[in-house]
Amino acid sequence: MTSSKFENVPDRRAIIDRRGIADALSALPEGEDRNGFAAKILRGALEQGRAEVARRLAIDPDRGRAAARATAYLHDQIVRLTYDFVAAGGDIEPIAIVGLGGTGRGEMAPFSDLDLMFLTFAKPTARQTAVIEAMLHLLWDLKLKVGHSVRSIGDLMTLAKSDMTVRTAFLEARLIWGEQAIFDQAMQRFRSKIVSGTAAEFVSSKLAERDERHVRMGDTRYVVEPNVKDGKGGLRDLHTLYWIGKYVHGVEEPSDLVRVGLFTAAEFKKFERAERFFWAVRCHLHLAAGRAEERLGFDRQKQIAEVMRYADRPGKSAVERFMQFYFLNAKTVGDLTGIFLAQLDEQMGKKGFRFALPTIRRRPKRLSGFVLDRGRLSIPNDDFFAEDPVRLLELYALAAREGLEIHPAAMRAAARDAKLIDEKVRKDARANELFLEVLTCVKSPELVLRWMNEAGVFGRFVPDFGRVVAQMQFDMYHHYTVDEHSIRAIGLLAAIERGELQKDHPLSTALFKQIGSRRTLYVAVLLHDIAKGGAAITASSASRSRSSSARASGSIRRRRRPSPGSSVTTS
């Protein structure tokens, strides 16, 4: 029996020949060393299977999710073989061996933990306990890290009611081996007794948990040594969206998020692309480290860039191109999270519950053609930005001025229509005035600039800023990508102006009152690092236009570029 999760895993027998191994285990003679011989057989099968998965990934280094699925299949078969071996010849009361988390989802990185729940109808008997312990000892002998629990159905329901971690883990539960009736009964009771009517509680808990995790990991998706699994914008953020969709709407696959209206088809394609990329990075990272490593440190970045076949380009090294693509995908996850949560908030609001994004909400004095939809800034029709692209700047200026949250419809439209910002818009005096209003807003410029950046509006209006989006420098001194560093600097400047950092920066706080033009200061802070995006373009242009005499001497003349952000007026 093969789980439907693994029907698309090609040539499964090349990963593990379960029937052949089962025959070898059943042929072992009785005796003291029988378990030792069994461990040797299973360890060999595990190592051979891992090698086969790694070989496939080396051939096609972008297929990380296929590698994760194949790894989960390998572990499934090891668990089944282990149970059949230790339970052979005994009369045992039914047990359901259930995979949780990634094990249950059917996606495991090469050295991920094996998360198992041993589920019984009632309190486990002595014989059931003995079999479970024998299984665990054999799995530990294989050097597997096993997260495990032993529960009766009643115990599981009690714990799931009070413990959100247990509830989340069982949400992705899957029967690996054993008694189907136990699993079916537990899942039916879980859905009717635990999930039903508790969507609001679950969503609030998952968002709070996500925020705590982000703070623990640095609270930005642009830290230059990111955690692929738990960092902001990483795999766990994508999984959280799926968990919420599964809990609220009962979706069975991530693609069902389109059916229930939380993503459009185009947005889900972005979800899939990001997920595939992060799974590839995570699998390569595990294989490079030879263990469960989730932090993409400087010592691994060059190695994985090479494995994933990134190449040097004029002005940008292979590792910098790889990491820029990493951060662009992390940015995509942030964009999708905002859209997903706003859309979910909209759906739940119609049922009388909103969790809402943390913003100050009040009724604006002037809407300038925009509308309020249940307290959030929105657009009156789908062509609103096309009719006047300057409104793409006005959306964010109004949000900053009035402390408003942006409606998902407006967020989607802004991301779609950002391409309408051309040279005419960049030279428009009103557009520049609106941009400067956002940049110099003393209340929350960092938040709104980040929204503008994630929609692509920021980079379209200030092209030199667009060139540093997700760009990093491969050194030990920069902690964030260039765009995130610049936005954070603006946020710190505003905090100094508000007097919130007087204790840490007393001189800067005092000097702020003597500044002749605060606009000039804000623009200067924005532009202080922005020229880094010109290096690659300048080098590339110089390389293509190099004269024969310059080639002979090895010199490269760099063209002077217009000053970055020259369309932004500061008067």
Is pLDDT at 84 greater than 90 in this prediction?
yes
| pLDDT (0 to 100) of residue 363 | 54
Q: Helix (H, G, I), strand (E, B), or coil: what is residue 455?
A: helix
3-state secondary structure labels for all residues of 136-201:
HHHHHHCCCCEEEEEEEHHHHHHHHHHCHHHHHHHHCCEEEEECHHHHHHHHHHHHHHHHCCCHHH
550 pLDDT more than 60: no
Overall average pLDDT of the 316-338 stretch: 87
User: Which of 50-64, 173-187, 278-292, 469-483 comes out lowest in average pLDDT?
Assistant: 469-483
pLDDT tens for each residue of 495-517: 888 888 888 888 888 888 888 88
Chain mean pLDDT for the chain:
85
pLDDT of residue 352: 56
pLDDT tens string 144-161: 999 999 999 999 999 999
- Residue 499 confidence (pLDDT): 87
pLDDT class for 468, splitting at 50, 70, 90?
A: confident
Rounded distance, CA 94 to CA 85, Å?
16
Weakest-pLDDT range from 61-75, 285-299, 386-400, 406-420: 406-420
Higher pLDDT, 565 or 283: 283
Considering 48-52, 375-379, 560-564, the range whose residues carry the highest mean pLDDT is 48-52
Task: Please report the pLDDT score of residue 68 as a whole number.
Answer: 96
- pLDDT of amino acid 306: 95
Question: What is the percent of the chain where pLDDT is above 70?
Answer: 86
Assign 549 a pLDDT band (cuts: 50, 70, 90): very low
Interatomic CA distance for residues 122 and 477, integer angstroms: 57
Average pLDDT value for residue range 85-96: 88
pLDDT digits (tens, 9 = 90+) for 199-255: 989 988 888 888 788 777 655 565 778 899 988 889 999 999 999 999 999 998 889
Is 32 a residue whose pLDDT tops 90? no
pLDDT per position as a tens digit, 111-140: 999 999 999 999 999 999 999 999 999 999
Is the pLDDT higher at 353 or at 437? 437
Assign 3-class secondary structure to 408-446: HHHHHHHHHHHHHCCHHHHCCHHHHHHHHHHHCCCCCHH
**pLDDT class of 551 with cuts at 50, 70, 90:** very low
Cα–Cα distance measured from residue 533 to residue 539, given in angstroms and rounded to the nearest whole number: 11
Q: Report d(CA 259, CA 261) in Å as an integer.
A: 5
Q: 103: which residues sit within 8 A by CB, 6+ positions away?
A: 72, 75, 112, 113, 114, 115, 116, 174, 176
Query: How many degrees, rounded to 5, is the angle at CA 268 between CA 267 and CA 273?
Result: 100
Specify the pLDDT at position 514. Answer: 85
pTM for the predicted model, two decimal places = 0.76
Going 208 to 333 to 323 to 478, the CA torsion angle's sign is negative
| Percent of the chain whose pLDDT exceeds 90 | 55
pLDDT band (50, 70, 90) for residue 403: confident
pLDDT of amino acid 273: 93
Which of 441, 455, 460, 449 has its CA nearest to residue 518?
441
Average pLDDT in the 548-566 region? Answer: 34
> What pLDDT is stored for residue 561 in this prediction?
37
DSSP 8-class letter at 4? G
Sole residue written with tokens 């005096």: 429
What is the average per-residue pLDDT within 168-180? 95
The dihedral sign for the CA sequence 376, 380, 381, 385: negative
Least confident range from 178-192, 200-214, 526-540: namely: 526-540
Q: Supply the pLDDT for residue 3.
A: 66
Q: Is the pLDDT of residue 332 over 80?
A: yes
Count the neighbouring beta carbons within 10 Å of the beta carbon of residue 388.
16
- Rounded Cα gap, residues 238 and 68, in angstroms: 15
Q: Which helix (H) or strand (E) holds 459?
A: helix 457-461
Task: Give the per-residue pLDDT at 350.
Answer: 62
Q: Distance (Å, rounded) from C-alpha 482 to C-alpha 470?
A: 7
The average pLDDT across 251-276 equals: 92
| pLDDT of the residue at 563 | 38
Q: What is the mean pLDDT of the segment spanning 424-450?
A: 92
